Amino acid sequence: MSLDDAIRAAPRLLRARAGGLLPLYLLAASAPGVARTPLVVAVALAAAHVATTGRLDPAVAALRDADLGGPPDGDPFGSGDPAGEAVTEAVTGLLTPTVVALVVVGVVAAVTVLVLARAVGSAATLAAVTAGLRGEAPLVAGVRGVPEYWRPFAALTLARAGVYLALGGLLVGVVAVAGSVVAAVGAALAVVGVLVALPVVVAVELLFAFAGSAVVVDDAGAAGALRRAAGLARERPGVYAVLLAAGGAAVVGVGVVTGVAAAAGVGRAVALLVTLVVLPLFDGLRVALYADRGAGRVDSAGDGPAAAVRDGLVALGRFLREHPGANAGGAALLGAGAAAGWALVAPYGVTLGRPDDVGRVFGSVAVGPFVNIAANNWLVAASAVYGGLAGGLPTAAALGINGVLVGAVVATTDRLTFLALVGPHGVIELPAIAVAGGLGLHLGRVGLDAVRGRRSAAAVAETVRRAFRVLVGLAVVFVVAAAVEAFVTPAVAAAVLG
């Protein structure tokens, strides 16, 4: 196979099998949300601890009494300010051994879950890409790849982290020792170390990129995959050069697009581009290069964007009709979170003032905020949906967080202001979030059944595919909600609040 065939294979596969690949890339993108769950639980337990032990009230009282406008003249650190000292003492009092222990356990658990979640995502996506290049159904292969390959990918993640820790520790140690003898020598070594580190980082990334391909193409373990990837560098160095060029072009391209998007005020859309286009193309290229093959027969499985939107709205309606319990559960969790947020904040009587110019909340040009809001809400919903495969817990945590934020806003805002600033789009956005949560809870049951062996890979894949279609339908709802929030809500708020 020529290198040109491998380069063409990735975009051909993505165009033909987007419906079988993109759900798994959204699944992989949900890893941070899944990993955040134990930390959210730890923080919630810590907050409950300080609230029930009476340690929260002094901190709130000290903050309320303190002059937060700045420290007194001549005392830049506020060390002579009694109110500042009271705030420091009250906040420090919150850090009890129990609170510290809970946070530490939460952080350790979050890191552990992140490693596992990323391993699951890598196993699913690369197994799907490999199957697609062979002309097989990618989604089913991706689901089957999770139990087969997650262990090698977790080991590769830990090995990669270990390499960087070792190299970083060596560099810091050499610079520290040299700097303790002659400061100038230490500074010079630091500069040289940074220059040397760049090609080393590139080499490590390329090695582990092809090691991941070896896991799914050759069914190799972590150690065997690294050996095969290293052997590839000796036998076919050209593929390393191609992947390096493609990776460099991707980094530069994403950087340029990010800059342009930031200037245009649509930066959040870049995350969609990376998740749904850049990563599938890069994975397709590295697997095709390693396997030394182009794409097999990849007949298109879709009818275009318009048909996808139509099917998505149909799937959304079907899910609402067929799973009322899951949707009610999503709404209940969102409502419970709102009640908790209100109960936590309302007793302290904190009130936020109205914006000075509610009619120009998003400025004179609201296109950027519209795109950012729509893209962010959909990505958050997708994370809550596919994160729900982990027993539904990440979905419940996401709903709880969103509910707490809503409840806190209700508690700190007078009712008229809240209704004017949130009501117009909230009546569309909040139900959509609840439905996304219901879909995540439904997938939670599917995930548990799969772990228990009660559902086949084909059945799980079909449910994941249907969830993606529902998400496409929800994308339309979030676009409408974002349009209302960016273009209608400010005008309504200006008319109501003056």
DSSP character for 268? T
Closest to 130 measured CA to CA, from 151, 113, 148: 148
Residue-by-residue pLDDT tens, the chain, 498 positions:
566 777 888 899 998 899 999 999 999 999 999 999 999 999 888 888 887 877 666 666 666 665 444 444 444 444 445 555 656 666 676 778 888 899 999 999 999 999 999 999 999 999 999 999 998 999 999 999 999 999 999 999 999 999 999 888 877 776 676 666 666 665 666 666 667 778 888 899 999 999 999 999 999 999 999 999 999 999 999 899 999 999 999 999 999 999 998 888 888 899 999 999 999 999 999 999 998 866 555 555 555 677 889 999 999 999 999 999 999 999 999 999 999 989 888 877 767 666 666 666 666 667 888 999 999 999 999 999 999 999 999 999 999 999 999 998 888 888 888 888 888 999 999 999 999 999 999 999 999 999 898 899 999 999 999 999 999 999 999 999 999 998 888 888 888 876
Contacts of 250 (CB under 8 A, 6+ apart): 278, 281, 282
- Within 13 A of 405's CA, how many CA atoms are on the CB side? 7
pLDDT of residue 77: 40
Instruction: Print the SS3 string covering the chain.
Output: CCHHHHHHHHHHHHHHCHHHHHHHHHHHHCHHHHHHHHHHHHHHHHHHHHHHCCCHHHHHHHHHHCCCCCCCCCCCCCCCCHHHHHHHHHHHHHCCHHHHHHHHHHHHHHHHHHHHHHHHHHHHHHHHHHHHHCCCCHHHHHHHHHHHHHHHHHHHHHHHHHHHHHHHHHHHHHHHHHHHHCHHHHHHHHHHHHHHHHHHHHHHHHHHHHHHHHHHHCCCCHHHHHHHHHHHHHHCHHHHHHHHHHHHHHHHHHHHHHHHHHHHCCCCHHHHHHHHHHHHHHHHHHHHHHHCCCCCCCCCCCCCHHHHHHHHHHHHHHHHHHCHHHHHHHHHHHHHHHHHHHHHHHHHCCCCCCCCCHHHCCCCCCHHHHHHHHHHHHHHHHHHHHHCCCCCHHHHHHHHHHHHHHHHHHHHCCHHHHHHHHHHHHHHHHHHHHHHHHHHHHHHHHHHHHHCCCCCHHHHHHHHHHHHHHHHHHHHHHHHHHHHHHHHHHHHHHHHHC
In the chain the first and final C-alpha atoms are separated, in Å, by 69
pLDDT of residue 229: 94
How many CB atoms sit inside 10 A of residue 57's CB?
Answer: 13
pLDDT of residue 496: 80
Domain range annotation of the chain: 3-18+135-291, 54-95, 305-497
Find the helix or strand (DSSP H, E) in which 276 lies: none
pLDDT of residue 308: 86
